[in-house]
Amino acid sequence: MKKRSYLFAVLLSVSGLAFSQSIEDELKEFAEEKYPNDYSMQEYVYEKQVAAYEYMQSVSDEEVKEIAVSEYPNDYSMQKYVYEKQLDAKKYMESVKDPEVKEIAISQYPNDYSMQKYVYERQLKSKQRME
């Protein structure tokens, strides 16, 4: 039984290593494609992608993560940017006071909190001018 547990642990660590190597290769390739003739920019992009990848692995709002990943499936840095922007907008939309204007924003962009915020602010401003 101990032998089987040990073998399982080794297999798990090797599969984790292969996964890490796969991500590392993916991020290196991404950086090389962005800057094929500039090694310092490749390194810069690679480091930003690694940090953003790690960040995206730790996020807690799965709904917002899904939005970010769907917009930029191969760019972790942009996923991080979109995630943070969408999360801020989601929190904003949870705190707005005008239910009529909120409904307008949500109906126009049901799956995009950033656009909901934009529409809400424009509609609210227009509503206040018209009153």
Cα 37 to Cα 43, 82, 85, distances in angstroms: 12, 28, 32
**pTM recorded for the entire structure:** 0.80
Q: How many helices (H) and strands (E) does the chain have?
A: 6, 0
How is residue 12 written in tokens?
Answer: 């798990």
pLDDT in tens, 69-120: 999 999 999 999 999 999 999 999 999 999 999 999 999 999 999 999 999 9
Phi, psi of 110 (to 5 degrees): -65, -20
pLDDT in tens, 28-82: 999 999 999 999 999 999 999 999 999 999 999 999 999 999 999 999 999 999 9
Three-state DSSP class for 79? helix
